Amino acid sequence: MSDTNRHGRFSTLSPMKLDDNHASIREAIDAGLLAGAVTLVWRSGEVLQVNELGHRDVDAGLPMERDTIFRIASMTKPVTIAAAMSLIEEGRVALSDPVATWLPELSDMEVLLEPRGPLDKTTPARRQITIEDLMTHRSGLAYSFSVLGPLSKAYGRMSFRQDQDRWLSELVTLPLVHQPGERLTYSHATDVLGIALSRIEGKSLADVLSERIFGPLGMVDTGFSVGTAGRRRAATMYQLDADLKLRHDVMGPAHIVDPPFCAGGAGLWSTVDDYLRFARMLLAGGTLDGVRVLSEESVRQMRTDRLTDEQKRQPFLGSPFWVGRGFGLNLSVVTDPSKSRQLFGPGGLGTFGWPGAYGTWWQADPSADLILIYLIQNLPELNADAAAAIAGNTSLAKLQSAQPKFVRRTYQALDV
């Protein structure tokens, strides 16, 4: 079944009861808060629904389509982790290995005496950063938006517009915000892991991911660039200005060729169907269509909570992120569905996923054999005041609630 309206096109391949799950997204588009979205519902081997809503480029009048290519930001991270796990299976690296074995630049890291203190007041790291530290964001590295004070400003001055070795040489001049393994701070750790994979393999991270993940899974539209033909399918990035109007001049066009630094933490482009193949592989324990990409043990480790009780009590980006949930190898994992549902919406025991900063989101629920994917391109304000701004603005709240309502209505429609 298919339909067309002024929001764009959507197709429903399942019972009619799913038809209203995108109402909140259409409301955000109607209000001028969102250019468009592509969503997908998969269950028990079947794509039940694909919604193509609004535009990938408003000014050009180009609609969202099922093969629209999105910047998936931190949805890149689990992909890089999966490639690393395949190397672990071959015995070429271990979770407990110091990353300095391949990145000697990280051999002698310093740690801030005070998280918001001056950068020259430090103490030596008590131990080396390990591969597992990078995979769980317990390395002591940070993002500009995950810390405060001088360290935040220093991270903000770093640029991906250079090769990976020069970028790493800048990164290691900054102190860690805490001792390795002590707590979780969201960070450039997966970017560092990607550089390690590149050095271990002696090739670009783009080639590592292509050979170990994209090729075996048939992810033909995923990479650090989109090519000449793919640029027309790429979704434009939008941002709400002070008057809550969509701006499109906030990010350059899609890369036709791979950039100098292929960032393993946030640099990938992908489509809803490509990412579905990756999510299905993880849900199925490492295989897809008869092809084994990872061992069951590797997938189990990725989907197993690794945080201590104390680490879960610490705020994540200012929020109580771990209520009813834990963190595996860059996958959030539902550990108590009743507690998790209150803050994060439906999802049975073991539900896993990881979102992206530009509004991209997905989760796989093994208890319901269900995968949901929600893709938009919206550049947010990544700062301490953003949550307060949303709380006091009903229009912004409408935008922020579009995805949770889509998820809740989908679960209600499927009676899970």
Residue 226 has what pLDDT? 98
- Sequence-separated (6 or more) residues with CB below 8 Å from residue 284: none
Asked if 365 contacts 371 with a C-beta cutoff of 8 angstroms, the reply is yes
**HEC string of 238-260?**
EEECCCCCEECCCCCCCCCCCCC
The sign of the CA dihedral 401, 407, 413, 416 is negative
Q: Do 243 and 282 fall into the same domain? A: yes
Give the chain's domain count: 2
Ramachandran angles phi, psi of 394, nearest 5°: -70, -30
State both tokens at 194.
């990607």
CA distance 160 to 77: 16
State both tokens at 25.
């997204």
**In terms of residue numbers, what domain contains 304?**
2-77+204-414
- Among 184, 201, 218, the domain boundary falls at 201
Q: Do 367 and 237 fall into the same domain? A: yes
CATH assignment of the domain containing 93: 3.40.710.10
Q: Do 44 and 150 fall into the same domain? A: no
Q: Do 267 and 178 fall into the same domain? A: no
Q: Do 21 and 111 fall into the same domain? A: no
Q: Do 255 and 391 fall into the same domain? A: yes
HSE (side-chain half, CA atoms, 13 Å) at 305: 17
Three-state SS at 328: coil
Q: Do 252 and 296 fall into the same domain? A: yes
202 alpha-carbon distance from chain centroid: 26
Q: Do 96 and 46 fall into the same domain? A: no
Whether pTM > 0.85 for this model: the answer is yes
Q: Do 125 and 154 fall into the same domain? A: yes
CA distance 31 to 370: 30
CA distance 207 to 213: 10
- Among 134, 166, 201, the domain boundary falls at 201
CA distance 211 to 200: 14
Q: Do 58 and 142 fall into the same domain? A: no
- Cα Rg of the chain (Å, integer): 21
- Among 201, 216, 240, the domain boundary falls at 201
CA distance 133 to 131: 5
Q: 224-253 burial, b for 16+ CB within 10 Å, e for fewer?
A: bbbbeebeebbbbbbbbeeeeebeeeeeee
CA distance 299 to 94: 15
Beta-carbon neighbour count of residue 273 at 10 Å?
20
- Sequence-separated (6 or more) residues with CB below 8 Å from residue 77: 190, 264, 265, 266, 330, 354
Instruction: Look up residue 377 and give its amino acid.
Output: Q
Q: Do 268 and 367 fall into the same domain? A: yes
Instruction: List the chain pLDDT tens, one digit each, 416 residues.
Output: 344 333 344 444 445 589 899 999 999 999 999 999 999 999 999 999 999 999 999 999 999 999 999 999 999 999 999 999 999 999 999 999 999 999 999 999 999 999 999 999 999 999 999 999 999 999 999 999 999 999 999 999 999 999 999 999 999 999 999 999 999 999 999 999 999 999 999 999 999 999 999 999 999 999 999 999 999 999 999 999 999 999 998 998 999 999 999 999 999 999 999 999 999 999 999 999 999 999 999 999 999 999 999 999 999 988 899 999 999 999 999 999 999 999 999 999 999 999 999 999 999 999 999 999 999 999 987 655 554 444 456 678 889 999 999 999 999 999 99
Q: How far is CA 171 from CA 157, 159, 332, 346, in A?
A: 10, 10, 26, 38
Q: Counting Cβ atoms within 10 Å, is residue 380 exposed (0-12), middle (13-18) or buried (19+)? A: middle
Q: Do 57 and 87 fall into the same domain? A: no
